[in-house]
Chain A
């Protein structure tokens, strides 16, 4: 079946511009996650959704970052007033649910964001 999809695959933007990154999870997966992977660093957790709800936003690096999920499906991660340190690969993952045995997270291909 179809996996997690993300768009765009690459995004180059000028410092100070806003960007929107999109994630389409596996059908039927209620949990959705955003991570960031910077060069030489591990995956850094940003935020998760259970359904349309994001109970904990403390992983977002700053108030320039926001995320939403609608219809229990597609999610968008928005970065306002981008900075060069925002350059990274943004990965989305989904899982059947949270906290139980069916917890494997399946990742999309990522969006490579470059801020010039």
Chain B
């Protein structure tokens, strides 16, 4: 079965302090890798889909990259409103397999 591991479990940053979140995966043929953001008490919000190694996607202060073994979510000059849990998932034919997430806190 596909597996997804995210690190670190929690990350505290100061406003403006750039960093990266990691998602490593083991799959037998990647169909798609997904990043979601989840705020407390809410459902996950879709951010990005990556399909092949070398692919990159950006949205505001976030950039997702993909290699054959892992994906990174780079956060540039974060703001307090970027505080959330970031979830990574890989696509199996009929479901997403999620990691446990990285809880990001950005202090002003």
Interface residues, chain A, with chain B CB atoms under 8 Å away: 4, 33, 40-43, 45, 48, 50, 55-56, 59, 91, 93, 98-99, 103-110
Contact = CB atoms under 8 A, between A and B. Distances in A.
Contacts of B34: 104-105
Contacts, number: 53
Given A43-B87, A104-B49, A109 B43 contact: yes
B59 interface: no
Given A42-B100, A48-B95, A56-B94, 20 more contacts: A33-B95, A40-B100, A41-B100, A42-B98, A43-B89, A45-B95, A45-B96, A48-B94, A93-B43, A98-B94, A103-B32, A103-B91, A104-B49, A105-B96, A107-B36, A107-B45, A107-B46, A109-B42, A109-B43, A110-B43
B103 to A, nearest CB: 11
Contact of A98 (B41, B44, B93, B99): B93
B78 interface: no
Nearest to B100: A42
Nearest to B36: A107
B97 interface: yes
A110 B42 contact: yes
A107 B32 contact: no
Contacts of A41: 100
A45 B97 contact: yes
Contacts of A59: 95
A103 B104 CA distance: 26
Contacts of B98: 42-43
Contacts of A45: 95-97
Interface string B66-108: 0000000000000000000001010101111111110000000
Interface string B45-73: 11001000000000000000000000000
Contact of B49 (A42, A48, A50, A103): A103
